[in-house]
Amino acid sequence: MSQTFDSQPSVADPTRLSMIAAVRTVLKKYARFTGRAPLSEYWWWALALALVPIAWFVLFEVTRAVIRATGENFFSVTLAITLLVAGGVAVLGSIVPSVAVTVRRLHDMDKPGSWAFLALLPAVGWILLLVLTATGGTPGPNRYGLDPLGRAPVQVPSAPTATPEANEPLERLQRLGELRASGVLSDGEFEKLKAELLNR
């Protein structure tokens, strides 16, 4: 199965992503389980999901207060039923994009999307998933696509290679140690030759 990657990061500047832009991005990628999601996209979506029920609850309580004050009438009962239905639809409608953005967030850390099932583990699973989704992504491209932040991969410097001239005193010192260990050189001869070698 071949994977295709976006040729550009998902948004112009994901480090300055607003809540509205993040929600739009998540909804635009409603059921997209491929690619990567930056921290800002994931956490703005999570905050929006936390605020929507609060707003819904406030509207519902206002509607209940209106019903108590004015008595039950067609308008107030219809509004209450509409709010209940809208709340249920919003909850059901947010499941797929929430799972999709979680999978993309895990992909940003070069982890498989199946790790989202950690949330099903009692108590510990949510904590592990919380820690994982709060961790920064891998810089540069990974097996799930380009870096959504557009960062270059981290270059790990290789160990400096010693030139043959730099290795020569070390090799001689090792050889002297072998000669001392085998009994060819006494401890005094070894110390004298070692001092001469190191003072060059």
Q: Are residues 128 and 39 in the same domain?
A: yes
Is it the case that residue 149 has pLDDT exceeding 80? yes
Rounded CA separation 30/11 (Å): 15
Q: Are residues 20 and 119 in the same domain?
A: yes
Is it the case that residue 163 has pLDDT exceeding 70? no
Assess if residue 143 is contained within a domain: no
Assess if residue 53 is contained within a domain: yes
Q: Cα 91 vs. chain centroid, distance in angstroms?
A: 25
Number of folded domains in the chain? Answer: 2
Find the helix or strand (DSSP H, E) in which 62 lies: helix 39-70
Report which of residues 105 and 83 the model is more confident about. 105
| pLDDT tier, 9 (very low <50, low <70, confident <90, very high otherwise) | very low
Q: What is the pTM of this model?
A: 0.66
Assess if residue 38 is contained within a domain: yes
Q: Are residues 26 and 78 in the same domain?
A: yes
Rounded CA separation 187/24 (Å): 77
| pLDDT tier, 7 (very low <50, low <70, confident <90, very high otherwise) | very low
Rounded CA separation 76/3 (Å): 52
Report which of residues 40 and 154 the model is more confident about. 40
Residues 167-199 have pLDDT tens digits of 677 788 888 788 788 777 788 888 888 888 777
Assess if residue 29 is contained within a domain: yes
Residues 57-95 have pLDDT tens digits of 898 888 888 888 887 778 778 888 888 898 899 999 999
- pLDDT for 158 equals 62
Q: Are residues 123 and 28 in the same domain?
A: yes
Range of the domain at 177: 164-198
Q: Are residues 129 and 173 in the same domain?
A: no
Q: Are residues 126 and 174 in the same domain?
A: no
- pLDDT for 173 equals 80
Assess if residue 102 is contained within a domain: yes
